[in-house]
């Protein structure tokens, strides 16, 4: 099954290049989400780059990547963050699961994960699991293999990180075939673009909106 590695990137040029160097013999699409300085991968073989004119959000970039993948006859996209918090050694563990609608990374909620992230993730994972009638243990992990059918007729309103919850709420249900891959919990010194309080509020607001409407 033809899959495309998608790397949303915002001001992670050097880290992104380091990530790419660890991905061997895979088609890669970088979505540069309006970075302050444009950069070019050191090794351009099998690599495509799409650039957003301004910083629009991770969700917007994923949807743009999905459209590119569909237009180029891919069947799945594997989204991996550019900041090296997703270890590329798990890529093949995701890609071998060809029969699933969604395969998501599952981290340990241990001391490696900041306390507020842990609390936010536990709450949203609990609520989204109830709504989708699927046990999803890490709804905020962006390391995911999506079947591109999930993006067809997707009524999406979220362009930021909340998109990763929105697509679960709108496209995953009791009939969906999903699986998790256990991955390392990594938080390095790279700058996070998630605001703990603000984004937790947005996650909860998104969930409530989908329940009420």
Cα dist from 24 to 5, 17, 18, 88, 125, whole Å: 11, 13, 12, 10, 32
Judge contact between 203 and 120, C-beta under 8 A: yes
Q: Which domain holds residue 166?
A: 3-212
| 110-145 pLDDT tens trace | 777 778 888 888 888 998 999 999 999 999 999 999
Q: Pull the structure tokens for residue 16.
A: 């992104």
Decide: 148 and 75 in contact? Cβ < 8 Å: yes
- Would you state the structure tokens that stand for residue 153, as one six-digit string? 């007729």
Q: Check pLDDT > 60 for residue 157.
A: yes
Place of tokens 């998630």: 194
- Tell me the C-alpha distance between 38 and 26, whole Å: 23
Please enumerate, as own/partner, the contacts of 37-44 that have beta carbons within 8 Å and a separation of 24 or more: 37/11, 37/13, 39/13, 41/16, 41/17, 42/17
DSSP, collapsed to helix, strand or coil, labels residue 182 as strand
Over the stretch 185-201, which tens digit does the pLDDT of each residue have? 887 654 454 555 676 67
Residue 60: give its domain's CATH number: 3.90.550.10
The domain tally of the chain equals: 1
DSSP 112: T
Helix axes 115-132 and 163-171, enclosed angle (nearest 10): 20
pLDDT band of residue 212 (cuts 50, 70, 90) is low
pTM for this structure? 0.89
């Amino acid at each position: 099954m033809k899959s495309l590695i998608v790397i949303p990137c915002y001001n992670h040029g050097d880290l992104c290049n380091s990530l790419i160097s660890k991905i061997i013999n895979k088609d890669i699409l970088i979505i540069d989400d309006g970075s302050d300085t444009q950069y070019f991968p050191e090794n351009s073989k099998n690599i495509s780059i799409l650039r957003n004119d301004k910083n629009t959000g991770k969700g917007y970039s994923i949807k743009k990547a999905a459209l590119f993948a569909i237009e180029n006859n891919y069947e799945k996209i594997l989204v991996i963050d550019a900041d090296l918090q997703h270890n590329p050694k798990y890529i093949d563990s995701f890609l071998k699961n060809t029969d699933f609608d969604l395969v998501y990374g599952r981290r340990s909620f241990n001391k490696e994960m900041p306390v507020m992230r842990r609390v936010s993730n536990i709450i949203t994972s609990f609520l989204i699991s109830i709504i989708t009638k699927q046990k999803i243990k890490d709804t905020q992990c962006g390391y995911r293999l999506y079947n591109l059918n999930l993006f067809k007729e997707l009524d999406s309103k979220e362009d930021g990180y909340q998109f990763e919850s929105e697509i679960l709420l709108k496209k995953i249900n009791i009939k969906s075939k999903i699986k998790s891959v256990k991955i390392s919990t990594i938080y390095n010194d790279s700058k996070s673009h998630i605001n703990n309080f603000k984004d937790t509020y947005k996650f909860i607001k998104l969930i409530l909106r989908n329940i009420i409407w």
